[in-house]
Amino acid sequence: MHRLLVITLLYFVFSGGLFAQQDPDRLPEAEFHMARMVYADGGAFGRGRGGFRRGWWAIDYPQAEYHFTRGVRRLSNIEVADDSQHVQLLDEDLYDYPWLFVQQIGQGYWNPNPEEAERLREYLLRGGFLVIDDFHGNDWPVVVKAMQNVLPGYPIVELTPEDPIFHALYDLNQTTQIPGDRHLFCGQTQARMEGPQKWAGVYDEEGRMMVAINFNMDMGDAWEHADDPCYPEPMTALAYRFGLNYVIYAMTH
């Protein structure tokens, strides 16, 4: 009986019960579809029979999306689709998703090729918004190099409390570090992280943030473990608020 329940649940999740597989021909279902950026990470990524092989891009997927989209619906008036999408930079429907979420590009050693870099550059300069989450320690140079390829001449700047993104909906204190589940002992509120956090971003010439960067933090884990009694509720609540600020900023700028 236990085995049957597990098989049934897996079929439900991956056949579209929780998140429908991407259908490029369908019409939008809501004003906000959450989309995750798929990237190559040295062979761990590829299309196989039945869909994608999981790579570093799929960390926390789809549980993080499932919890976060329900939070956006509950905490705002945004009409949110029930599903989540994953999209490659060269997919034709990239521009249908003006808000992209990506994780672990440092650990995955993401190095966009010239065509991918040009496509993401055009996407961002035309009004798209990218959130980079869940990279730590020695991963910072990997992310800096990738963004220099994507947006040459646009510096990564460390954010201050005055940056508008911290006040798009909630007034937030960015001194709190949002840890991954692996950085906590059950019931602890003090994370064992690899140094302090850094909130950073990339702005265009008009002062619009195009890229939000969460260094040495794991907002995706905080969403994924929203119903886990071992993950501290205050950190999950803060991660929801930061995510909502990102969404509303992107939809209004």
Compute the distance between CA of residue 86 and CA of residue 224 in angstroms, rounded to an integer.
17
202 closest CA partner among 87, 115, 89, 125: 125
Q: Which domains does the chain have, with CATH numbers?
A: 29-252 (3.40.50.12140)
**pLDDT one digit per residue (tens) for the chain, 253 residues:** 444 343 333 333 333 333 334 455 556 678 899 999 999 875 444 443 334 456 889 888 899 999 999 999 999 999 999 888 999 999 999 999 999 999 999 888 999 999 999 999 999 999 999 999 999 888 999 999 999 999 999 999 999 999 999 999 999 977 778 877 665 655 554 445 567 889 999 999 999 999 999 999 999 999 998 888 888 888 889 999 999 999 999 999 9
Structure tokens at 153: 């001449």
The full 3-state SS of 142-200, as one line of letters, equals HHHHHHHHHCCCCCCEECCCCCHHHHCCCCCCCCCCCCCHHHCCCCCCCCCCCCCCEEE
How distant, in Å, are the alpha carbons of 161, 164, 243 from that of 85? 32, 27, 17
Compute the distance between CA of residue 147 and CA of residue 112 in angstroms, rounded to an integer.
9
- Return left, alpha or beta for 80; rule: phi > 0 is left, psi -120 to 50 is alpha, else beta: beta
Pairing of strands 129-135, 99-103: parallel
Compute the distance between CA of residue 204 and CA of residue 200 in angstroms, rounded to an integer.
14
Compute the distance between CA of residue 112 and CA of residue 133 in angstroms, rounded to an integer.
17
Residue 137 near residue 108, CB atoms below 8 Å: no
Residue type present at position 80: V
Using only the alpha carbons of the chain, give its radius of gyration: 18
- Residue partners of 31: CB distance under 8 A and separation at least 6: 78, 79, 80, 251
The pTM (predicted TM-score) of the whole model is 0.82
